[in-house]
Structure 1
Amino acid sequence: MENLTEELAQLDQGNIHSLMDSESQIQELMERLDQGVVEIDRMDMKMNVYDQLLGTVRDAMGKLGGQYSHILCQNSNLKSLFAEVEGLVTQLDLDPRVEEVLLHESLSSPSEIRDCELAAASLQSSLQQELPSGVDVLQAVTEQTEAFHNLSAAFGRRLYTHLSGLFTLNAAMMLDNAHVRHTVGPSITSHSQVHSDLLGYSKLMCWLKECEPVRFSEVLEAYLRSFRPVYEEEIRAVFAESKTMLGRVSEGKKGLLGRTGSNMDMLRPISGSMMMLSHARDKGGINQSFADFGATAGLSPDHPNKPRFDQVFDTVLEQLQPVCVSEQKFLTSFFHFAKRTASFVEDDDINEVDGLDGPLRDDSDLGLDGVQGVLGQLLAILLPEIEAFIAHGERMDSYNALHLLVNVSQRLMFALESGGRVMSYLDETLKKALLYIKRLFDKLIVNKRRQIEDMKVPRGAKAGVLPCVLWFKDFAERAESIVMGTDRRADLDKAYQTLTDALFKTIDRVATEHQKTPNDVIKFENYHTLVDILSRLKINCLEVKRDTAKKRYRSHKKIYVKNCLGRPLDKLSAFFEGVESLRAAGTKAEEVGYRLDYSRSELRKCIKEYPGKEVKRGLEKLYRRVEKEVSDSDLQVVWGAMQEAFIEQAQRFEALIAECYPGANISLDFTLDNLAEYFASISAQK
């Protein structure tokens, strides 16, 4: 322990001596440390300066980076703006040649028209391009757009002026030609050449409809204004000549009449002609004119030397149909109405016209019902002239209303049943005229019914077959010959019902009012005639009426015969009627002879009054009476019925004698063979 203490002390002493030896070194170290502190302070000042300098550079670099991003964005925007402006300029830029063509190019030759079509298409493209949103407020854009519209309006005016001039010129030439043609018989010539020339402007009309609809309407009005008088002149002339023809006696018709066996055969409608007429096409002219009509038409049944009205009417339609179809095609193509159908537009019939780009405007913008509305204005004269011509035919012969009702109905029905076929304007007009024809037919039926109902009671001693029955016979025969082979029966069947109802009432009325001819005679004679008429004509809708008439005929004939039977054997008939009354009351057959009034002696007395000669005289007297009351056509029928009834009566008398007076050896003074001889002898004498 002591050693350790001593060593520790020695070590401390050594350390002290060592420290005292290094004091100079420490001093030097302290000086160096002071110098280091100073140097550090100096470096710190420099670092502060550097830091301040770097801070300024950092701020400048931050600002520079923001400005660079802005410059990049601005550069991008400028590029986009340049592209937009360049595109807008391109859109609104129009070749000066386009303006020159539209304002100054002539519209006379096909090449010039083609140049105008291309220029108009370019202008339309510029007008219809979609501009970026918002650029329409820019002054330059507004001015350029206005310039386009002004150019479009200017060309529209030029096109309107040119086409109006063409319309006026062509219409004037056609009117002049129409006046010249009247000297050789008017007809409606084909307008195909005019249409062909005008169709060269079809694409420009499509452009006008799209870009200048108001001017388009003015062109349409100009066309109507120019060509309406042409059609009025031609249509009036055709109908006027047709009326003249109906009143003209033709020598050629006389020869034709001489070769025909029956006028009624010629009343049958020519349905084939109607079918051909429905398919009429405009091939550059009219196939049949009035000059050659006499070689094909039939004759009027009432006027054998004059042509039939319905066939003249068909000929007029053959004149009108190609014109209407051609005009409808032209209007559809030239004015770009609703899409055409194959029935009216063929590649070889009319030039196909492709419209410029862009959808067509709705035709309702024009205030028209499409092409039919335009035709209605252009051919406004057609329906009044058709109706006036129909009225003229009806005044000539009221049956012409039925002829036309059948023919026009067949025509329209064929037009409707043709698959996919759109009806022509003439067919549409005939649909309206059909209502007028139906009214005329109804007028015919009303007049016939009134004629039947107002028939006066005949003043002669013998009424016979009433005129109203013969009127109905004439009507039914003519009507059936007209509708034969057609399916236009509904109106006629209805008319039959009306007329037969009136006929039944008139027969009954006249039978009651006639003062000389017995009621039953008038009824059975006229009902018999009516049954014969209906049986011969075989009209299905009148089967019930025929059966009713037959029942009435048989009933009234039976009544008349029964009333006449007792007169030749009046006392004998009264005697046996009493016998039958007793039997009906329950008296036994063997007890009848014990009645005072019906005894055997009374029976012999009655039979004695009617020997064979007396019976024959009574029959002759009866025949003379029947002959006065019954018409010749029914006399033998009634006399035969009386013979049968008289013989049956005689057989009944003999049966009652055998039943009620057996073993009395009583018989009539004449036999059944005698009666047959009496009737045959009387018939032969008359």
Structure 2
Amino acid sequence: MKYEDVTLQREWEGAKEPPDVTVTASEAALGALLEDGDGEQDAERRVRQLGSRVARLDALNVGGMLAAATESGGAGAALAARLDDGLSAAAALGARLRRCDALARAAPDAAHARTDAARADANARALLAELDAIYRWLDPPPLRDLDSLAEPVLTTAEGRARALAAAEALRAALRAEPTMPAPRRRLAAVRERLRRLARAKDQLAAALARHLNNALIHLGNEAAQESRPHRHHTELAPYAPFMRWLKDMDEKAFDALVKVYAGSWARVYEREVRGACEAARAALCRDRTDDLLDHVLSLVESLCNAEQDFCTQFFYLDIDIKSDSSDGEKSEGGERERGDGGRRAGAETRRFMHELFPALEPELVALVGHVERSEPYGAMRALACVGRRVLCAEGERGEQAARKPKCGVFSFVSELEELSGACEAIFATSGRRADLDRWYLSLASAMMHAIQHAEHPRTPRAVLHMENYHRLHGTLSSLRVPALEALRRECRTRYSDALRAYVTQYFGRPLEKLTQFFEGVSEAVASGVREDEVCYRAAFSKHELRRVLALYPAHEVRKSLHRLYRTVEKHLSEEGGLLQVVWRAMQEEFIAQHVALQARVAACYPAAGLALPLTTQDILDAFSDIAREH
């Protein structure tokens, strides 16, 4: 053993002696240590020696503590066990730390990724993605050559396809501008590109308008010189997508083309209709009136239907192009009126057809006047001919009308108002009152028969009868014709019966189990049991009544009323205008059932303190609230 170790051992052993001995030994050892040296030149060596001695002394100190603890009865073993447990826990913690570090390094947003190099890489990738989005927005392949849009080739199918692709890409880029982030739109390059796209849009719109204007005028001149019906429909059909684009991007140019078309073909159709009417007037003395009128009406119907079908598709009438980025949306009125068969037009279509056939009504009125002057009942023949064609057209549209989710009021019922107004203006002051009343009676009787036997797959029959009888009753009442009084009362009766049948069928008994309970009570009373003794029977006891009443809390009753209102709203149509009437009838039915049940509770269970879940005022409030909410 070296001198230093012997000295440390002695110092350790001296630590077990009394304090004065330990201090003396330590001082002696320290003095010996300090005296043993060669001066300042060995300072570094002495520091190293002192450090190593201190370390060994600490080790001896720990060993001595453990030995002392072992000698004192096993506490040292426990301390050693705790130290082993601590080492094991430290090892497990280190392993867990290494796993967490590995997971963190594998994560894309790890802390180590926030270094300068990683941030630079992320920024470069974000910039690349932003530039790619800008290029896809403002520089798609169809827009690479903007100069070609000033003079597109529209005479060939391939040229039209390229021009249409460029037009749609231009439209998508310009319409997407408001939705783009503001920082992107503030870039100078983006602003410059948008200005170029706007100029290209104006140039393309001008080129399209110029080409289509020339085509419309050329085809109109050809149609005026030769009879080639509807040839222009086939030749203009490929340009329909361009008209849609113009309606969205340059409404002024679109309106100008619409006026050119209407002006060009109005003259053509005026000549055709006038020629047909003149031929009919000339042949009136030789042929039957019905055949002549049918021929003229067939010609007019074919012209009008063909033009309406073409114009609604070519000019996108009654379609809100700007509200949709792809196919547009039909306006509510246009969609509703065009639902049965596609022949009934919206407001924009009707206005356009009036501009396209301005001479149609005067020519037909003049023809009917000529027929009336030729024979006494000529006007009636004309009316019967027109009515026959209208009813045939309604019959042809029946299957398509059946696809509508609601039937609503039949068109012949609503058109009776317009017809009666025209008849009153023509015949009321001409001494034909009796004939006119007979016509009214015949028409109204036929309508009532048609309504009675009508059916619809998606509308309950009671609703169909209720709405149409109500509308027909209103029309007959407004005529104030004594000959129609019996029919008017019959319409009122059938309307009331249909309303009652619908309420009975769909309202039913909202408190079904409670109603069944009191039906049993009524049967017991009818069999001879006194009302105040019914509660002593097990099936009709107070406890059983409380159980049934618990099935109908107030909020559940309100939920069932909400469901009922949605059902009624789904069945009834807007033009019928009977939603609130039906809802009021259901309210009265509910109150009547409620009052009857409450009276039975008061008679049979007077001292039980039982009541229905809702009072009469609660029912009134619930019906009013539901009507307001919907």
Fold conserved (TM > 0.5)?
no
Structure number, greater radius of gyration:
1
Q: Relative CO higher for 1 or 2, CA cutoff 8 Å, sep ≥ 6?
A: 1
Q: TM-score, normalised by structure 2?
A: 0.40
